[in-house]
Structure 1
Amino acid sequence: MRVLVACETSGIARRAFAALGHDVWSCDLEPAEDGSNRHIICDVRDGILCDGWDLLACMHPPCTRLCRSGRRWMSGPGKWTAPKSLPRGRTLGDLRDEFETGVEVFTACWTAPIDRVAIENPEMNDLARDRMPADLPSPQIVQPFWFGEPAYKATGWYLRGLPPLTETQRLPEPERGSDEWKRWNRVHRMPPGPERTRLRSRSYPGMMRAAATQWTTAAITRARA
């Protein structure tokens, strides 16, 4: 299968699909962290989506202004009223531009001429949902510890032409408040800093191995039927 892993620099998802023998490329505005020659530096909206892919996995499209936690910066009560406050050093114009970029990237991926699409994104706020395609379903929410990764991070998958993920190695959860529980919450406990967004958005290898196996197997089985 020809697979495009969009909006990823870590190579985690690309390597998971490649390990199964598929023709896989990743793309992002930034270079690949692993220096792979199967990574294209580009804006996913600039035509690459029309290059004959069998499956698109869009990993980390801009979601800060689309998710529920980001709504308070976009609007006060109701819709598109003045927010009560803004992040330090940011203007409302900046945030609106980021919101529009998030909407455009997500929509471009969801409506791409590709039969199988998976977009990783948190549950959206009402402002973002109002701008989404009418056929967008609710996301499947999964956790890394369902796939052998000792971590909490509710991960949303918006799926078209692909089955929901099935857990592969659910770990027993630690006691709430314990040191281990705190380690499982390390994504949420990261201090502010220039690397915080990148580190918080990284994929989990166990989850991506499951996704690559389950989604490509389903696609191949359906094609042979």
Structure 2
Amino acid sequence: MTAPDHAGDAADMETLYPFLYAGGTRADALLEDARRSAEAKAAEIAALRADLADRHGEALRRCARRMAEAFRAGGRLLTFGNGGSSTDAQAVARLFAGPPPPAPPLPAISLPHDVATLTALSNDVGFEVVFARRLAALGRPGDIALGLSTSGGSRNLLRAFDEAARRGMVTVGFAGYDGGAMAEAGTVDHLFVVPSSSVHRIQEAQTTVYHVLWELTVRALEGAP
């Protein structure tokens, strides 16, 4: 029986992770670079969030009041997005539907997480309509359609907002960069743009914004101005 080649395994590991095998001075330099990078990223997202508070503070309050009106009238929240934004769509729906006590649970559905319907529509009709068709099936006047994108240009989100606007739904959008096509479409009642070209910073900031929106909506339902 041939003995395992542990030396070869070690060489492979060093090729993949050279910083683990670096000598003292080089390892210290790598750790210092990592520290500086982490601090720079933390400072960047903190500054971006502070900017968003000034940029969108009043707009978030208006949107929250409108969403509270929709929920009082029996409306539901339908969320959607692609890729990482689909995970955020699920997080938004869970936040509204299953919040920590004593906040009230509110009716919310994440459209991307009906995988059977999403894949059927993608295969049989086309990926551009996966959210629009779901809104056509589920959406009612007074419901809330909330879509998230980093680029603001996802065609299936634009189609979904078109459908939502036709059905008299309240439309809420999250986008990055300069808002992209979502900012130009005229179908998004409340649009929150994160002015960054970094997908990571955009999604981190969007997480903060939708948590603030949820909190303000709960306060509006409780009668806070």
**TM-score interval, normalised by the smaller of the two chains:** 0.3 to 0.5
- The structure richer in helix per residue is 2
Report the TM-score, using the length of structure 1 for normalisation.
Answer: 0.40
Report the TM-score, using the length of structure 2 for normalisation.
Answer: 0.40
